[in-house]
Amino acid sequence: MLNYDIVVIGGGPAGLAAAIEAKKNGADSILIIERDKELGGILQQCIHNGFGLHVFKEELTGPGYAEKFIDELKSLNIEYKLDTMVLDITEDKIISAINSKDGFMEIKSEAIVLAMGCRERPRGALSIPGTRPAGVYTAGTAQRFINMEGYMVGKKVVILGSGDIGLIMARRLTLEGAEVQAVAELMSYSGGLTRNIVQCLDDFDIPLLLSHTVVDIKGKDRVEGVVIAKVDENKKPIPGTEKLYDCDTLLLSVGLIPENELSKSAGVELDPITNGPKVNESMETNIKGIFACGNVVHVHDLVDYVTEESMRAGKNAAKFIKKEITRDNHVINTKAKKGIRYIIPHKIRVENLDNTLDMFMRVSDVYKDVKLVIKADGETIKEMKKKHLAPGEMERIKIPVINIKDKNISNITVEVQGEEN
């Protein structure tokens, strides 16, 4: 059996930042396990720019952003295994993993950081009726084919879902000579960042059909067309609004799901809203010494926030090794109230915070000119005016520790107040 202080599962942006920060905070034996042939995760296929504005104050491509971390990881001599798959994690933190070189391994680790990321929702999850031809791809799979393997996936394309990867791929496919006919979005607003709608659709005259969905897929061997219909306020297709789009490809950008099969095998408790682990202020799960960060916890909009959150997880994993995490003390629960879908973290032990409490959250609808109100046991402790809130953009709230320390608070809530929609 191999032994490590900290094993990080996943070598994408979350795993890299966590491992580096753990090392900087005094953890010695750290291992990253990555299933792909290289480190960097999905960043490696995101060749567009727009990464790093918060963390590095410059605009980088995905691989460029990853490289900064990979270089630092190597200079810190942090160990990693590529092309290695974790099969199982037990509650007492024994990891089974395999690869071609080392064979079957059992690894005992004092602390574990879960950083497996997320996967895309496939066609089946939407139950789109029709035939099952070639030519239906999730946006990320198409991105991998085009950016990593150098192959095109189609010539005339319809995209369902206006998540960021779908928007980015609308532009990418257009630049590669494909004709992107439309992006259909079930909701009455886009799930992607505003900057991506402008730069990827508007600049290329690609229509965004809000409150529309695909109701049929045609073609026996390869997609020959898709039928798009308008939906009513209950998201049901409105009869008579169907329109056939002649195309050979349907791209799906209909949401991401945190990848938590291993978390479940380790006994980690999940939040049914985020589909990710419930975590505390240290990004620790309900299992002592098992931490989680990045898209495995909740789907982020910007990789910069993944980095920030993962640094916190890595630092605390190191503190755990050194037995510096305070336990059995007072716990504050966070609760999402009106207009808020979820809040990360779920639990807060104030003694473990440095200077501020950082909360990440997403709203459940589009709001204009409203306030985000943060309350401690019903009493307002902070208000933030917001011109625009949308489910596609994550919100971050910082609360100075001094405002919540030694006050015996049980609940911190966040809600949207004021003019709606």
Partner 1 sequence: MYDVAIIGAGVIGSYIARELSKYKLNIAIVEKDNEVSNGTTKANSAIVHGGYDAKPGTKMAKFNASGNPMFDKVCKELDVPFKRIGSLVLAFNDEEMEALKELYNRGIENQIPNVEIIDKDKILKMEPNINNDVIGALYSPTAGIVGVYELAIALTENAMDNGAKLFLNNEVKDIKKIDKGYKILTNNLEMQSKYIINCAGVYADKINNMVAKESFKITPKRGQYYILDKSASNITNHVIFQVPNKFGKGVLIAPTVHGNIIVGPDSQALNDDQRDETQTSGDNLDYVKNTASKSIENIPFHKTITNFSGLRAEPNTGDFIIEESEDAKGFINVAGIKSPGLSSAPSIAEYVLDIIKNISNNLEENKEFNPRRKMIVFDELSKEEKAELIKKDPRYGRVICRCENITEGEIVDSIKKNGGPTTVDGIKRRVRPGAGRCQGGFCGPRVMEILARELDKDIEEIMKDGQKSNILTGKTKS
Amino acid occupying residue 209: L
Residues with Cβ < 8 Å from 150, sequence gap 6 or more?
Answer: none
Of positions 38, 71, 79, 83, contacts partner 1 by CB under 8 A = 83
Comparing CA positions, the residue from 92, 7, 2, 3 lying closest to residue 317 is 7
Q: Which residue lies nearer to partner 1 by CB, 253 or 282?
A: 253
Q: Which residue lies nearer to partner 1 by CB, 132 or 405?
A: 132
Query: In the Cβ-directed half-sphere of 27, how many Cα atoms lie within 13 Å?
Result: 32
Q: Which residue lies nearer to partner 1 by CB, 248 or 395?
A: 248
CB of 352 to partner 1, least distance (A): 33
Q: Is the peptide bond prior to 13 cis by the omega test (within 30 degrees of 0)?
A: no
Letters for 102-131 (x = contact with partner 1 by CB under 8 A, - = none) are: xxx-x------------xx-xxxx-x-xxx
Strand duo 379-389 + 356-363: pairing: unpaired
Please report whether residue 396 would count as binding partner 1 according to CB under 8 A.
Answer: no
Of positions 26, 74, 76, 85, contacts partner 1 by CB under 8 A = 85
At 72 the three-state DSSP class reads: helix
DSSP per position, 247-280: -SEEEE---EEE--HHHHHTT--B-TTTSSB--B
Question: Which residues ranging from 147 to 166 are in contact with partner 1 (CB under 8 A)?
Answer: 149-155
Distance in angstroms (rounded) separating the CA atoms of residues 354 and 315: 11
Largest CA distance in the chain: 66
Distance in angstroms (rounded) separating the CA atoms of residues 391 and 94: 38
Letters for 43-82 (x = contact with partner 1 by CB under 8 A, - = none) are: ----------------------------------------
DSSP per position, 78-139: -EEESS-EEEEE-TT-EEEEEETTTEEEEEEEEEEEE---EEE--HHHHT--B---B-EEEH
Comparing CA positions, the residue from 413, 416, 359 lying closest to residue 388 is 416
Q: Which residue lies nearer to partner 1 by CB, 126 or 366?
A: 126
At 39 the three-state DSSP class reads: coil
Q: Which residue lies nearer to partner 1 by CB, 12 or 314?
A: 12
CB of 398 to partner 1, least distance (A): 35
Q: Which residue lies nearer to partner 1 by CB, 53 or 98?
A: 98
CB of 149 to partner 1, least distance (A): 6
Q: Which residue lies nearer to partner 1 by CB, 242 or 324?
A: 242
Cβ atoms of 183 and 208 closer than 8 Å: yes
Binding-site residue total for partner 1 (CB under 8 A)?
52
Q: Which residue lies nearer to partner 1 by CB, 85 or 273?
A: 85
Q: 315: which 2 tokens?
A: 């630092």
- Sequence length of the chain is 421
Letters for 234-263 (x = contact with partner 1 by CB under 8 A, - = none) are: ---x----------x------------x--
Question: Which residues ranging from 170 to 229 are in contact with partner 1 (CB under 8 A)?
Answer: 176-177, 215-218, 220-222
Of positions 74, 132, 195, 398, contacts partner 1 by CB under 8 A = 132
CB of 421 to partner 1, least distance (A): 26
Select the span of 73-81, 99-107, 310-318, 321-329 touching partner 1 (CB under 8 A): 99-107
CB of 334 to partner 1, least distance (A): 26
Please, where are the H alpha helices in 289-335?
Answer: 303-321
Which residues contact partner 1 (rule: CB under 8 A)?
35, 83, 85, 87, 96, 98-104, 106, 119-120, 122-125, 127, 129-135, 138, 140-141, 144-146, 149-155, 176-177, 215-218, 220-222, 237, 248, 261
